[in-house]
């Protein structure tokens, strides 16, 4: 019986999704990306889940697209099948926060998938890169667009044009990852962050994620207007009343996510 390409489990209010093609360093193919999208959306619909963690293995988060599966693809086929856009960006439809827990190689599509997470916690052995130039192509799942926004145009230009890998500590200095932790503590740290977020009011968490994403998509004036409207709207929630009452009473809030 063939092993599933995606493994899922839950820890309290945290949904965990693991890429599971270890013999191929979690190379990303159609079957995996379809299964990944389905798993992410299922957790997003689950009212008992407040945050997600996306992870791979200790040797590789994902070493890129499955080159063997796409080497013979031609231009008409790529356009006709909506290669990349058809199933690679499902993660962007997830409204709950997604934390990337990255160990080992996150290259090409793997780096791009990590950048689609809301933030990344990296193990000390993590390596990030966009080596597509070595294959006669360029990044196709956001590498030329998200990477310069994360690490600066100069760093991104160097990485994309040379295929150089960036280690975890350089990635942290550049802002590509939020934190670097020892490999043996990666899951523990990612789950702790996810559990902390999942314990917050879900309406405010979703609003915060959406507002922060607007900062990359709109001019400052429009982003501020969006933030203000979301801020005002949260005063209509039960969790706002509970949160402020708990603060004044010096007790822990009991959010109902409503």
Q: Which of 109, 110, 143, 243 is catalytic?
A: 109
Q: Which of 15, 104, 106, 132 is catalytic?
A: 132
CB-based contacts of 47: which residues, under 8 Å, 6+ apart?
257
Give which of 42, 31, 34, 33 is closest to 8, Cα–Cα: 42
* 118 close to 209: Cβ distance less than 8 angstroms: yes
Number of H helices, E strands in the chain: 11, 10
Tokens 């799942």 found at: 141
Backbone angles phi, psi at 11, to 5 degrees: -135, 100
* 224 close to 244: Cβ distance less than 8 angstroms: no
Query: Collapsing DSSP states into helix, strand and coil, what is residue 104?
Result: coil
Question: Among this protein's residues, is 132 annotated catalytic?
Answer: yes
**Cα(201)–Cα(224) distance, rounded to whole angstroms?**
22
* 14 close to 194: Cβ distance less than 8 angstroms: yes
Q: Which of 65, 122, 171, 208 is catalytic?
A: 65
Give the model's pLDDT for residue 1.
Answer: 67
Q: Which long-range contacts (CB under 8 A, 24 or more apart) does 206-209 make?
A: 206/95, 206/96, 207/231, 207/233, 207/234, 209/95, 209/96, 209/97, 209/118
For 168-179, letters b (16+ CB in 10 Å) and e give bebbbebebbbe
Helical axes 238-249 vs 202-217, angle rounded to 10°: 110
Give the model's pLDDT for residue 13.
Answer: 98
Question: Among this protein's residues, is 207 annotated catalytic?
Answer: no
Q: Which of 37, 39, 112, 123 is catalytic?
A: 112
CB-based contacts of 228: which residues, under 8 Å, 6+ apart?
none
- Determine how many CB atoms are found less than 10 A away from the CB of residue 248: 8
Query: Collapsing DSSP states into helix, strand and coil, what is residue 176?
Result: coil
Give which of 180, 115, 121 is closest to 151, Cα–Cα: 115
Give the model's pLDDT for residue 75.
Answer: 81
pLDDT tens digit string along 84-108?
778 889 999 999 999 999 999 999 9
Residue numbers in the chain where pLDDT is lower than 70? 1
DSSP letters for 18-59? EE--GGGTT-B-HHHHHHHHHHHHHHHH-TT--EEEEE--SS
Backbone angles phi, psi at 205, to 5 degrees: -65, -45
pLDDT tens digit string along 2-15?
789 999 999 999 99
Question: Among this protein's residues, is 210 annotated catalytic?
Answer: no
Question: Among this protein's residues, is 254 annotated catalytic?
Answer: no
């Amino acid at each position: 019986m063939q092993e599933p390409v995606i493994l899922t489990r839950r820890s309290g209010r945290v949904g965990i999704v693991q890429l599971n093609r270890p013999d191929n360093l979690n190379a990303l193919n159609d079957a995996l990306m379809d299964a990944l999208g389905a798993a992410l959306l299922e957790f997003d619909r689950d009212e008992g889940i407040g945050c997600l963690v996306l992870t791979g293995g200790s040797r590789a988060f994902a070493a890129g697209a499955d080159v063997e599966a796409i080497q013979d693809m031609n231009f008409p086929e790529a356009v006709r099948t909506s290669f990349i856009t058809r199933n690679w960006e499902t993660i962007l439809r997830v409204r709950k926060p997604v934390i990337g827990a990255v160990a080992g190689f996150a290259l090409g599509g793997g780096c791009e998938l990590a950048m689609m997470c809301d933030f990344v916690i990296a193990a000390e052995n993590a390596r990030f890169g966009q080596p597509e130039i070595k294959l006669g192509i360029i990044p196709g799942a956001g590498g030329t667009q998200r990477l310069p926004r994360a690490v600066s145009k100069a760093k991104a230009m160097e990485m994309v044009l040379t295929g150089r890998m960036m280690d975890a500590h350089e990635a942290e200095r550049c802002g590509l990852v939020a934190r670097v932790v020892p490999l043996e503590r990666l899951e523990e740290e990612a789950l702790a962050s996810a559990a902390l977020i999942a314990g917050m009011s879900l309406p405010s968490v979703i609003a915060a994620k959406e507002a922060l994403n607007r900062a990359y998509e709109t001019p400052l004036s429009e982003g501020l207007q969006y933030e203000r409207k979301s801020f005002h709207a949260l005063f209509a929630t039960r969790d706002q009343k509970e949160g402020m009452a708990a603060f004044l009473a010096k007790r822990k809030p009991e959010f109902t996510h409503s």
